[in-house]
Every structure is written in C-alpha cells, then in structure tokens.
Structure 1
Amino acid sequence: MADTTSCRICEGTVEEFFDFGRQPLSNAFVKPGEEKDEFFFRLAVGLCSDCRMVQLVEEVPRERMFNEDYPYLSSGSVLMKAHWEAVAQRFVDREDNRDDPFVVELGCNDGVMLETVAKAGVRHLGVEPSGGVADLAAGKGVLVRKDFFEEDVAASVRAEHGPADVVFAANTLCHIPYMGSILRGVRDLLAPKGVFVFEDPYLGDIMAKTSFDQIYDEHFYFFGAHSVRAMAALHGLELVDVERLPVHGGEVRYTLALAGALTPSAAVAALLAEEVEAGLTDLETLRGFGARVQRISDDLTALLTDLRDQGRRVVAYGATAKSATILNYSGIGPDLVEAVVDTTPAKQGRLTPGSHIPIVPAERFQDPYPDYALLFAWNHAEEIRGKEEGFRASGGRWITYVPEVRVTSD
C-alpha cells in the first residue's frame, strides 16, 4: 500500500503516487568544495482523496529555499518580461475607472510586473521574502515589503494601505504549503469586488506532457480547477474565472473573488469538465504518469551514455530549478554532461545541486560549440533556439525530453 499523509489544504488523506527519491534543493547551486553541506529531502507526490489537491508529501522549510541568495530573476527571459508587462497593463486598464486603486503582488521577485504598474501611477505593494531580488525591485521604483505573506501581514497591509482591488501572484502560490493563512489573508485584504489572480503550472499540462521536472522542492502544490475551487471555498472565496496560458510549459490563470461577489464565467465549468474527462482527479491516472517518467529517464540516460561512449561532447543549456529533478532522479552527472551554460551571474562558477555539473557563462557555449545540447530550459525553447542559430549552423543538435526524448537540429 502507498504511503499516506494528511492534506495541507483540507486535512484529508493524501495517497502517494510517485517517489523521485533523494533530491537536493533545486536552486541551491553549490560552490566547488562545499558539496558535503548540501541539504537533501525525499521528493514524493500524492493526491488528496477529498479536495483532489496534488501535493508534495514532504515539506522543505521555506527559509532554506527563499532567502537573500535566491538566484531566480523573473525578468531573465525576454518573452516572459513581455508577458509580465501585459499582465500589468491588464490590471492598470481594469482599475482605470476606479478611484485610487491598489494592486498587491505576492512574491514580486525583481519587480518586473509591478514596475509597469508603478510607472502608470497606480498604488501598489510587492510582498517578497527574498531580500536580494526585493532590493532589485525597489531599485526599479517598486514599493516592496520584505516578508512572507500571511494572515497577519495582510492585516498590517490593509491597515496601512486600505483594501486591495487586485492581489496577484505568479509562480508563487504553488510554492506555499501554509495555504490557509494565505487565503484568509487574501480574503481579509480584498475590497468587496476585488479579485485574487494567480497563475501557476497546470496539473493537466504536467500530466499530458509528462513534464515531471516541474515537480521539485519549490512546487508544493500542482493546481487544477477542481482543487482550486475546493480550497477557495474553504476560506470564503470562489473560483470565478480560469484562463489557459502557454508559458512555462502550460499554466492556468485562476481568478478568485469573495464568495458570491462575482458571477463565475463559463470557462470554469468547461475546465472542470475537461479535467473529469482527462481523469485528473483519479489516482489511477496519476499512477500511470509514473511509468512514463521512468521511460523518459531510462531513454535519456541511455542516449547520454551512448553519446559519451562515442566521444561526443554534451553540454546542457539553462541551469534551471527543474533540472535538479531529472538530473538527480536519473543519476546524470559530469561524466555524461560536461557543463551547463547559463546567463545568470549568481549561478556561474557553481555546481548543479546534487549532480555537481559545473555551471559556466553562456559565452562558453560557442567556445567551441558542443556536439549536442541538452535543453533544460525547454519552456524557453523558441527564444533560445532563435538566439543560438550558430549552434545549429555548426551541426549541433538539441536534446529534449518533454514529452519524450528527442534529438533535433532545430
């Protein structure tokens, strides 16, 4: 019988359906010589039998993941920067006819979204626990509070700034195990017709594409319309809209409001029906996912081993958080992948978590080009391939593994 634990949303029973084994912190890129100090935990995922929330079985302390040294920058991708600017403009336009609107972002990172809101003269606040990126946001003219958003913080924000017309979170809410405190805080902070809008990786896309590297320490929950509707109802909120997004391998933008305040759109019922048809609330469907994960892992390891034995050079592209899952689950190390190129200065000169592959500046990619490039940042594939035309022209080939292992020249 599979291991069970209590649901962090509703206290129902969570039944484990896949175990990725011993994993490091996904964003803890270690300095050479400090490998012995790494923190590891068991990465396993399960389904709640009551609210149908898919979630990690073991929680990593938040202070270990989100701190002064947190290396991820939301503005690092040109395409994603445009995405955030469009989101911000949408909020600015929505609030254009309101008197002195107030927009709050949970986990504002380096301020890439709120910068547009600030330039439009709209009152705003970013709540960001990682001090380094919060300082970057403040440098862009964004008002930032360095803190983890919880119920007491929400009360403090409302007392100082008044109710929020929009509360927004992107790739943040799924990171937070203590959801009750978050949602009670949002409920108490919202104006009567205010909305809580958040976008996160969609369980349906993860299952359909077998994008299992979306499962790592920072992603505690994997949302679907059923589970979001259930968790909202527990805290006086209602799911009133959903929108599918193509970013990051497939996300959904959920909109919550105070219960009864707004009429749910037809899109909500449509997505709920799609999830039933796809079996996303069924444990057996999720167990089938595990067999596909194992096949991808075996195929990728076999390919890399064969290329090494042929004397081919393989370099990975993008020292992503999600690459920690596939590297450590599949046992891929520097014997199979000689280096990972990445544009983030804070990661360069360090080693990938657990697998200890050297991370080098992006300029090293063409000095000289490798024979093969393993694309970890597959969610930015179009942007990367467009930038690296020289690699293709040199005869280089890309290796991808979502939804299956493929080798392509473009």
Structure 2
Amino acid sequence: MKRCRICDGPVRETLDLGRQPLSDAFIDPTAPPGPDGEFFFRLGVGACESCTMVQLVEAVPRERMFHHDYPYRSSRSDRMREHFERTARTLLDGVRAGPDPFVVEIGCNDGAMLAAIDTAGVRSLGVDPSGRAAAVAARNGLRVRTDFFEESSAASIRAAEGPADLIYSANTISHIPYLGSVFRGVDRLLAPDGLFVFEDPYLGDILDRSAFDQIIDEHFYFFTVRSVRATARRFGFELVDVERLPVHGGEIRCTVARAGRRPPAPAVAALLAREDALGRTSGPAFRGLATAARRIRDDLLTLLRTLRADGRRVVGYGATAKSATVLNYCGIGPGLVPFVCDSTPEKQGRLTPGSHLPVRPPAAFSDPYPDYAVLFAWNHAQEIMMKEQAFHAAGGRWILYVPDVHLV
C-alpha cells in the first residue's frame, strides 16, 4: 500500500485510469523520437485513511511537467482574465492598508493575475518554473522569478523583498507533491498577519459531475475542506475561509492564516458538514466515479463509431490537458477524431500526447465546419459556444461527455 505524501498514512487506491502520457507533452512530428520514446505512467488515485487527502499513487517528476516550454497560457481565456481581475480586487482590499504591501503569486504563468495586481499599484512578484510563460509576463513589465516555489526559494525571496502580505496561487498548489516544503516556504515568507490563498479543483465537483478527466498527471492532490484543514494544521496554519468557484469545472478557494491569527469563517464548518454528509472521501464515492468513467468511455466510443459509420465528420475542440485523460482512457485516435483545434500557438502543428491527434489552429474548424465537435474544453463551454455560434447555425452539434455523453 502507498503512503500519504502529507502525513505518511496508508493510501488506499480507489480509481485506475490506466497507462497515460504527460498531459501537456505535445509531440513535434518533425522531430526524431527520443531514445526512450514517449513517457507514460499509470494514472491511479487513492485516499489517505488518516488525513483523507486524495492523491495520485504515482508522482511524475516535476521537471517533466513544468519545464521551460510548458504550453498552457492563462491569459488566453477571456473568462479567466475576468476572474483574476475580480479576484485581485477582492483580495487586495485587505492588503493595501500597509505602507508597502507585497504580493507573491505561486505559478503565475504568463501573468494574468499579476497584471491585475500591478494595475492596482501593489508591489508583486510571480514565481513560475516555465521560462517561456515567465518571459511573456516579463515582456508586459511584470516581475517573475523563474523557479519552483519551495522552502529554499521562499527564503531567498524573503531576504530580497521582505515578508509577503498575501501569497496567492491558482491551479498550482494541487500540482505539487512536496506540499510540506511549500507550507514551510509559506511560513518563511508570509507576514505574521498575512494570508495564503489558493484555488484548485474541488473533489466535490469532480464527483458531482463525474468529471474523471480532471484527473491528470499535473493534478497530484484533489482537495476537500477536511483534507486542506488537516494539512494546514500540520504545518502550523489554520483554514479560515473557503469558497466554491465555478471556473475550470468547479474549484475551491482556500484561505489559510497562521494559527490563532483569525477565526474561521462559518463557510468552513458548513462545507465540512456537507462533505461529511455526502461521504466525499469514502470508498463508495470513488467506486461511483470509476463506474461513471467506464460508462462515459463506452457511450462516447459508441457515439463516435456510429457517426463514423454514418459518414459524419467529427473533430475535437480544445487540446486541453484534460483531453489527454479522455483520449487515452477511451482509446480514441485519429481514426475517430482526425484532428483537434486549439488557439494555443505552442500546441499547433503538434500531436496530442499518447493519442497522436494533429493539433490545428482555430481556422481549421470552419474550413469547412464539421458535423460534430467533441468539446474537450467543456469547462469553457459557454465562452466557446458564444464564440462559435456560426458552427451551430451551420447545423453543427457539440458532443459533451460531462456529466454524461450528450449532444448540444
């Protein structure tokens, strides 16, 4: 049995999604293959029987995932830019009281959140290991340290910049297996009354929506109120507020402070009680997710094979990290979905990891429109469908698979 990365308790495996590639390792078809070929690992999930933290049973080395050429760019989504602007306004209200407030963002990517902080006139610093993403932020006049956030880098930032009044992170903390070093880094860097705020995929939403594609190599932990509270207390902190967010298919924003500095908000106890009532980390919950994943796989394959037999043209929309889990778990290749369209230049002209679907620019979507499109970026469905109204007007249908396979 595996041991918990947080408390060393026993981790009981509850879900196996099989052999998977790195979700953002898009392949250059013109480059010679490496000596070891494409990297694969087993994507399994387990729950700690002690602290209840849900986690992958096999960790991928961080340098393989979050490297210089990491392709994701947060600024390319209008919805996410708006989300970060709202978040900055909310969080900075409690920060600007000091003479020289300082904000650090862990995993700043290309600077969508940093830009909002900078516009507010607050001193800030981003930390991100992806050199290309950091370069985008730097070209926009933002300060970024190209590094992994951990105890050593946090100590260096503290020595150079002083204490942080706010440490913020979006869709990053759940990616980091070595959470102990992260919390020790937060302890080094955070001001006595400062806040550590992070938002990541929420296990409750994954289970409610049967969103098994949220399980990828980059999402090492799947947070609940109970598991985050236990982790924070282990390192001398307290979970003082929680908020559910609609972005990225359902997330939770956790606010952590030093123990004894702030009383927990009523939302913490309320969501904790809901989790306990619904058995969020129990065996039956995960067995239900495993059953749903098999059902979605079978239904999606049946639909795609039927459409192919009927001579219908189907393409993919959104070469997301989540699509790697779906494509490889379901065994979907170019024979069923000839290509996938994506607006990220770094992905275009490449092949999706494992499944090897060609990634084409958005112009290919309307040249000509397909009969059907599998919406892998389902968490941006509203934004995408508004943008692609001409596809629907031409008779096109969207294929979605969360919480089940259906047509729109």
Return the TM-score normalized by structure 2: 0.98
Deviation per CA, 1:309-328, whole angstroms, max 9, x where unpaired?
11110001000001000100
Matched-pair contact (CA < 8 Å) for 1:118–1:141: no
Deviation per CA, 1:38-69, whole angstroms, max 9, x where unpaired?
11001000000001011000000000011111
Percent identity between the two aligned chains: 62
| SS of residue matched to 2:352 | coil
Deviation per CA, 1:143-195, whole angstroms, max 9, x where unpaired?
11111011111111111111111000000001000000000110221111100
Greater displacement, 4-13 / 118-127: 118-127
Alignment of 1:1-400 (within 5 A): 4-32=1-29, 34=32, 37-400=37-400
AA in 1 matched with 2:154: A
Q: Where in structure 2 are there 5+ consecutive unaligned residues?
A: none
AA in 2 matched with 1:181: S
AA in 1 matched with 2:87: V
Tell me the distance in 1 between the aligned counterparts of 2:4 and 2:399. 37
Deviation per CA, 1:324-356, whole angstroms, max 9, x where unpaired?
001000000000001100111111111110000
Tell me the distance in 2 between the aligned counterparts of 1:261 and 1:142. 31
Structure 1 vs Structure 2 CA RMSD: 1.0
AA in 2 matched with 1:138: A
Matched-pair contact (CA < 8 Å) for 2:96–2:122: no
Matched-pair contact (CA < 8 Å) for 2:240–2:265: yes
Greater displacement, 168-177 / 134-143: 134-143
| SS of residue matched to 2:112 | coil
Tell me the distance in 2 between the aligned counterparts of 1:172 and 1:234. 20
| SS of residue matched to 1:113 | helix
AA in 2 matched with 1:11: D
AA in 2 matched with 1:363: A
Tell me the distance in 2 between the aligned counterparts of 1:123 and 1:97. 13
| SS of residue matched to 1:52 | coil
Matched-pair contact (CA < 8 Å) for 2:201–2:251: yes
AA in 2 matched with 1:247: V
AA in 2 matched with 1:21: G
AA in 1 matched with 2:381: A
| SS of residue matched to 1:286 | helix
| SS of residue matched to 1:94 | coil
Cα displacement (A) at 1:35? 6.0
Tell me the distance in 1 between the aligned counterparts of 2:363 and 2:93. 40
